[in-house]
Structure 1
């Protein structure tokens, strides 16, 4: 998006970089003024200067590069609600923390080299790196995720399902 004089809140990528570099140098009143100028709304009065910098930087970047999609935003909100509930229930001594679910991958996406897949199994965290040739786990190379899942568990597994890339309800779809 290119910056236009009629929309001072919109920035180009280059102007955004300059703006982000400037934010930490501004005092609280100047940050609030910048918020009103760029976002055309009043900043939340309770935000501290460091938090105001972070939120303003995020909002400006979201305008230029795009914000979270609806599914990701809902997943993050659900995780936040679960964290709040687990904190409240942590007051009881019998509560055991439940691991948070991994957000689902975007539909129809292919794994790109460099992607990290993480799965907890048998109280151990396993990280798999997607490479152009296949997958790497524990410094070993594999041609399929199912081979990796078999190496981790010692039993036959559908690799994409083991790593949460395939929804149980969708059957054979990836």
Structure 2
């Protein structure tokens, strides 16, 4: 009986483990567009990072932080991850990708 209980606990722990987040693959030249507090922000995907507002950045998260002043997941902020739509509705912004 004890072994059965230990086994079921072990199986639950394994199945409840967080799953790895798949990498986002964006083609060079893709434009990401996001409206934030009435301002439209456009990010250009480059081979070695991203261009926004005349500057080059190594991640979307850095750009999202610059735009919002708070920590955001960059892919989520730009609508590339599940759950982005609900977060954007709470913040009052809209997004689009092209």
TM-score w.r.t. the length of structure 2 is 0.60
1:112 and 2:27 aligned: yes
Structure 1 residues 109 and 143: alpha-carbon distance in aligned structure 2, compared to 1, 3 A threshold? closer
1:157 paired to 2:91: no
Higher relative contact order (CA 8 A, sep 6+): 2
Unmatched tracts of structure 2, length 5 or more: 1-22, 85-98
Task: Select the structure that is richer in strand.
Answer: 2
The answer to whether residue 83 in structure 2 is matched with residue 131 in structure 1 is no
In structure 1, runs of 5+ residues without a counterpart are 1-107, 170-174
Structure 1 residue ranges, 4+ long, deviating more than 2 angstroms after superposition: none
Q: Following TM superposition, by how much is the alpha carbon of 1:109 offset from its aligned partner in structure 2, in angstroms?
A: 6.0
In structure 2, C-alpha distance between the alignment counterparts of 1:162 and 1:109, rounded to whole Å: 13
**Pairwise CA RMSD:** 2.0
Question: What is the alpha-carbon distance in structure 2 between the residues aligned to residue 109 and residue 153 of structure 1?
Answer: 22
| Structure 2 SS opposite 1:151 | helix
Partner SS, residue 135 of structure 1? strand
Residue 168 of structure 1 and its aligned partner are, at CA, apart by: 1.4
Specify which structure has the higher proportion of helix.
Answer: 1
Scaled by the length of structure 1, the TM-score of the pair is: 0.34
